[in-house]
Structure formats: C-alpha cells, structure tokens
Amino acid sequence: MKITARQSCASDALIVIASEALRVSESRYRRLFETAQDGILLLNADTAQIEDVNPYLIRMLGYSHAEFLGKSYGKLALLRTSRRANNVRGTANQGYVPL
C-alpha cells in the first residue's frame, strides 16, 4: 500500500499532537512529584535501585538527592539506621538523647 502525501501530512500532524500531549503530561507529573507533601521515590523495576526522589522525602529523611540515587531500598534502610545511630551518639555527647 502506497502512502500518499496527504496521509503523510496527517501522520506527521498526529505525531506532533501526541508529542505535545506527552510533554504536557510529563510537565504535570513532574510538578506533582516535586510539590507532593508525601515522600516519593522511584525504583527501577529491574534493579530495584532508586532512580529519583522528591524534595519532600529528601527533607523528611535528611539525605541529599545524590545520596539516594543508585541505592537499593534495603541499603536506604541501613543508611537511615546508621545516621540515626550517629545522631544518637552525637547528641548523647551533648548531654541529651533524642527519642
């Protein structure tokens, strides 16, 4: 079946429309991800490694964005335990221990 110039133009127009819809959808998703008041992290389904984390989770757990990336979820739990232990040791030296 031979594609006519008219069909080619219609196909090109659909590609442009779909591309713009995808751009708008990605922009909305990114805005929701960045402003959510819930901690969100994105895991790679194949490797179970953290690929992205939103600002709320960064503030909530006290890690930098870079500290999250590439870590497995299990490794994150170990880091949190280690950081909590360091905080307890540091504050105990100052005369109090956080609960």
Residues 86 and 52 in one domain: yes
pTM of the model: 0.61
Tally of structural domains, the chain: 2
Residues 48 and 6 in one domain: no
- How confident is the model over 27-48, as a mean pLDDT? 92
- The secondary element (H helix, E strand) that includes residue 21 is helix 5-35
Residues 94 and 50 in one domain: yes
Residues 27 and 52 in one domain: no
Query: Is the model's pLDDT at 91 over the cut of 60?
Result: no
Residues 79 and 45 in one domain: yes
> In this predicted model, which residue has the larger pLDDT, 40 or 84?
40
Residues 13 and 49 in one domain: no
- Least confidently predicted of 45-49, 78-82, 89-93: 89-93
User: How many angstroms separate the CA atoms of 96 and 40, rounded?
Assistant: 32
Q: Given this model, what pLDDT does residue 96 score?
A: 42
Q: What is the chain's mean pLDDT, rounded?
A: 79
- The secondary element (H helix, E strand) that includes residue 51 is strand 50-53
> In this predicted model, which residue has the larger pLDDT, 44 or 9?
44
Domain of 92, in residue numbers: 39-99
